[in-house]
Amino acid sequence: MVDAGTPRRSGLHVEPMISLEWSEALEQPFGAQPGLPSEARLSWVHRAPEVQVIALYRAARQADPSVPAPWWLRAVTAGALASRLEGFLIEDRVAKLLDARPGWVFVPWGEEGEPGYWEYMPSERRLSSPGMPTTLAHTDRHSGWIDVVPVHAGPTPPPIAVEGLADLRANLARLESLTP
């Protein structure tokens, strides 16, 4: 029996849930333990045709302007990078440099949608109390695509903008020696 105050429905009406679709597009396979950014590129946003990824991202941003996304996707949609592949090449070149140096470890999780970040583990030894080691992450906030947050205990200091791979290579020893 239907309550007189309840409207009758002649069929099921389903609205698309763009936020759920976008969340699934970012989802990594369960149990993946990548050691490098290239090994972490397993989600739909990494494998699907780039035009489809961009279209879904733009639709998701219309529903929620702060929707999480990889740094390279934000840069591509803003016109600052030519393609997803260009972002992957930047990540891979940084990974090649840091993976060859002792003390740098790739952390495959972080902010939702991001590919992960790098930590300089020896910097933790400089902390007198629990804190965060020197951290390197990719960003779309400037055209160097790399930010470094120095080792710190307490409030997070502002990131240091690195102006690309050449700047990183030239200043890596200095960045590794930053103290809290």
Nearest one of 49, 48, 28, 50 to 39, comparing CA atoms? 28
DSSP symbol at 40: G
- Mean pLDDT value of segment 139-165: 95
**pTM of this prediction?**
0.85
Q: Is the pLDDT of residue 2 over 60?
A: no
Given pLDDT bands bounded at 50, 70 and 90, which one contains residue 114? Answer: confident
Lowest-pLDDT range of 3-12, 18-27, 95-104: 3-12
Lowest-pLDDT range of 21-30, 65-74, 164-173: 21-30
The answer to whether 130 and 124 have CB atoms below 8 angstroms apart is no
The C-alpha atoms of residue 37 and residue 109 are separated, in whole angstroms, by: 10
Q: How far is CA 46 from CA 28, 39, 86, 134, in A?
A: 10, 11, 12, 27
- Mean pLDDT value of segment 104-129: 85
Q: pLDDT, tens digit, for every residue of 74-96?
A: 999 999 999 999 999 999 999 99
Percent of the chain with pLDDT over 70: 88
